[in-house]
Amino acid sequence: MKKSVLHQAATRGSADHGWLKSFHTFSFAGYYNPERVHFGALRVLNDDTVDGGRGFGNHPHDNMEIVSIPLEGELQHKDSMGNVAVIKAGEIQVMSAGTGIYHAEYNKNPNEPVKFLQIWIFPNKRDVTPRYDQIKLDIDNKRNVLNQVLSPDKDDEGVWIHQDAWFHMGRFDEGKQATYNLKKEGNGIYFFVLKGALKVDGQDLETRDGYGIWDISEVSIEATSDAELLIMEVPMEVRL
Amino acid sequence: MQKISILAVGTNEKIMATILRLINQNPQWQGDIALSSETARALLLSANYNLILLGSGSDESKIRLILKDLGQNIPVVLHYGGGSGLLLCEINEALKPSSI
């Protein structure tokens, strides 16, 4: 039988560090809510805004698949694997932290904020060799459909990670409909509204609301205004 | 109040130093690190821990064997993320009454 969980935008945890304003869908840093620790393998969904010229200094990660999706502005990235890159809205970045990496992220623009989603997925294998990738997405030209932006397969569309997870993004005009079909049995699907309003499996969702569904094979989506949506399909069984 | 004593095990020296610093930043926690299973065994013999955190490169099966051998029943949790993002939650979740 279908199960679901609703995380309305206003109920998220938050942190204001001056230069960084962050909303946490799940427990993160100083925000701890035992009812909101993870949705299956989806462990972190942070909605970050970083002031112009500011950023995260060099810090470590290990054993996590880290996905960054800029929504506005440009984010400069430097890591211990020697990667130096800038990612901007319309692109997606992925890092497999594996045995351990250090990296720093800064807002490249001194005057404008950068807004981005920071998403962490538990890996299906520990201590893999760290890796980095980023690609440009083509969502603007493909409206009213779900565009795959991440999968477990390096030969498939989008970036890939060490987990049986699939991400899709879509921009919909008001009234348009779509259906999401589950990729793998046992997975759950987490819907995160980037902009506008949608009805997902009959549930009304507004900007930055999150809605997780599992024990279901397909989900209906209807844009009740012009809207943007991120869909994250992840395994529900994980070792914590 | 007695501090929560945490042993963090992992082989990435730089990351383990960060974890140790983050643990000891919390006034309610006290941490030690072990860069090998052998060091972990020695520390487990010399001190009482409330929790073991396993970082990258650690061998969980070896640590569990050591605990069995020493007759110690201590929660063992995997540490993800390297830094401060998940640490508070991992420790709280591992030590909440239903987990022990």
Preferred mutation among A63, A64, A67, A101 to probe B, highest tally of B CBs within 10 A: A63
Q: For chains A and B, what is the number of CB pairs under 8 angstroms?
A: 81
Tally of structural domains, chain B = 1
Task: Report the distance separating Cα A22 and Cα B98, nearest Å.
Answer: 30
- Arch. (CATH architecture) of A147-235: Sandwich (2.60)
Please count the other Cβ atoms lying within 10 Å of the Cβ belonging to residue A115.
18
Residue B89 lies in a domain: yes
B99: pLDDT strictly greater than 70: no
A227-235 and A166-172 as β-strands: parallel, antiparallel, unpaired? antiparallel
Per-residue model confidence as pLDDT tens digits over A28-74: 999 999 999 999 999 999 999 999 999 999 999 999 999 999 999 99
A240: pLDDT strictly greater than 80: no
Give CATH 2.60.120.10 domain extents, chain A.
Answer: 13-136, 147-235
Tell me whether B57 touches chain A (CB under 8 Å).
yes
Tell me whether B26 touches chain A (CB under 8 Å).
no
| Predicted complex ipTM | 0.91
- Arch. (CATH architecture) of A13-136: Sandwich (2.60)
- Domain hosting B87: range is 7-99
Q: Which long-range contacts (CB under 8 A, 24 or more apart) does A130-133 make?
A: A130/A81, A130/A95, A130/A96, A130/A97, A130/A98, A130/A99, A130/A100, A130/A101, A131/A81, A131/A95, A131/A96, A131/A98, A132/A79, A132/A81, A132/A83, A132/A85, A132/A93, A132/A94, A132/A95, A133/A93, A133/A94, A133/A159, A133/A160
Annotated binding site of A for Fe cation: 59, 61, 103, 105
Task: Report the distance separating Cα A177 and Cα A99, nearest Å.
Answer: 42
Per-residue model confidence as pLDDT tens digits over B25-82: 999 999 999 999 999 999 999 999 999 999 999 999 999 999 999 999 999 999 998 7
- A43 contacts in chain B (CB < 8 Å): 80, 86
